Amino acid sequence: MPVYNLASKFAGKMEKQWLHDSFVKPYTNGDLEFSGVDTVQVYVPTTVPLNDYQREGTARYGDPKEIIPNVHRYQMKQDKSYTGTIDLGNSRSRTIGAATGEWVKNQNSEVVIPFEDRYALNVYAQNGKIAELASSASLTKDTAIAELEKARAAFVNGRVPVEKRVVWATSAFTGLVAESKQFTEIEKLTVPAVRKGEIGQCKTFRVIEVPDDLMPAGCHFICAHKSALVQADKITELKVNTSPQGISGTLIEARNLFDAFVIGSLAKGVYALVGNGTKQACSVTIATHQATVTAAGAKEIYYTLDGSDPRFSQSRQIVATGGKVTTTTGQTIRVVAYGAADKFTSDIAEDTDEG
């Protein structure tokens, strides 16, 4: 019963297919290396205050602070598989390898890549800056451009580089901004390569029109800088069994480990616009060294006490709505709440124990 693992043979071709057929992967960062592992830890340096130099005394440079890096942990958790058969009668005119390659390519294009794009866009929308529309009124050409300008301003204030900015948007939103004089059609741009869905540029962002079924429900657009995003894949298995029991033909089995991440230290380079009333509420207040967390209806609530970002920090802890966390004088609690399926992530709420 010969079984051939063709993962290495097809890996290069699949990578090219992902870059060609994906709306997302060409605009993500490939610097995190997951080869041989499914988890990567990134150490993010902390900063210390800038002091006035003192020409007298024993602490002329200021009070030394211990530099303890924040640790962000990224683990690929999406472990998916698929299987299919090719009957001998349907593959007689082609080699098994050719038939397998054709089927796998179609499976990737029609099923796997759209699934990963949908998953990645949801992750990105949930883990950057989330701006909520002030009202439920429909967007117009002018208000759409105004919202994209807010994203551009947020990137300027976050010192996000101008190069390699992108905005994924629904067809309705791209239809509005395409009417603006500030939108430049792709035919008029000098760009190194045109990727799938790219239609032009506006407000420093390369505009990618995405099918509505790939965008998170209630999300109008996601702006990002390439360096802030990861979409990692590991083709772990692609097996062809040429003599499977009970089948006159071949059995194909594939398994793929993947995930998508926002790099915590670069999260200022991700900005999503969502509908009015679609963001999870979250608050925290401290009284007599007890922090009370409130996030009604939240699916998960995380907090930190060391100043790190609770969306990404390895030191984060889970808490329930209405839960109490003990704090000490001078300590700051930071809390984030992930909403149910119809809600986007809350802003980070925080409070400091004043003693």
298 with 282: CB under 8 angstroms?
Answer: yes
Supply the CATH classification number for the domain 283-352.
2.60.40
Which ranges constitute the DSSP H helices of 108-221?
A: 113-126, 141-157, 171-177
User: How many helical (H) and strand (E) elements, i.e. helices and strands, does the chain have?
Assistant: 6, 20
From first to last of its 355 residues, the chain has per-residue pLDDT tens of 455 454 454 445 545 555 568 899 989 987 677 766 777 777 777 788 899 999 999 989 998 888 877 777 788 889 999 998 887 776 656 666 677 778 888 888 899 899 999 999 999 999 999 999 999 999 999 999 999 999 999 999 999 999 999 999 999 999 999 998 888 876 665 555 557 789 999 999 999 999 999 999 999 999 999 999 988 877 667 888 878 888 877 888 888 888 999 998 899 999 999 999 999 999 999 999 999 999 999 999 999 999 899 999 888 999 999 999 999 999 999 999 999 888 999 999 999 999 8
* Residues 295, 312: Cα–Cα separation, whole Å: 19
Q: Locate CATH 3.30.2320 in the chain.
A: 130-230+264-274
Instruction: Give the pLDDT confidence score for residue 18 in this predicted structure.
Output: 52
For residue 16, the SS3 value is helix
Show Cβ contacts of residue 253 under 8 Å, excluding neighbours closer than 6 positions.
81, 82, 83, 237, 238, 239, 241
Residues ≥6 apart with Cβ < 8 Å to 155: 165, 204, 223, 225, 268, 269, 271
Q: Pull the structure tokens for residue 333.
A: 């609690």
Alpha-helix runs per DSSP H in 53-170: 88-91, 96-107, 113-126, 141-157
- Nearest Cα to 107, choosing from 78, 80, 79, 82? 82
What was the pLDDT predicted at 333?
97
Other C-beta atoms lying within 10 Å of the C-beta of residue 270: 27
Scored b (16 or more CB within 10 A) or e, 118-152 reads bbbbbbbbbbbbbbebeeeeebeeeebbebbeebb
Range 29-37 contact pairs with CB under 8 angstroms and sequence separation of 24 or more: 29/226, 29/227, 29/228, 29/229, 29/230, 29/263, 30/230, 31/227, 32/74, 32/230, 32/232, 32/261, 32/263, 34/76, 34/232, 34/234, 35/234
CA–CA distance, 83 with 104 (Å, rounded to integer): 10
Angle at 22 between CA 16 and CA 28, to 5 degrees: 85
User: Which residues of the chain are in CATH 2.60.40 domains?
Assistant: 283-352
pLDDT in tens, 304-323: 999 899 999 888 999 999 99
Report the CATH number of the 130-230+264-274 domain: 3.30.2320
Query: What pTM does this model have?
Result: 0.85
Q: How far apart are the first and last CA of the chain?
A: 72
Structure confidence at residue 4 (pLDDT) = 46
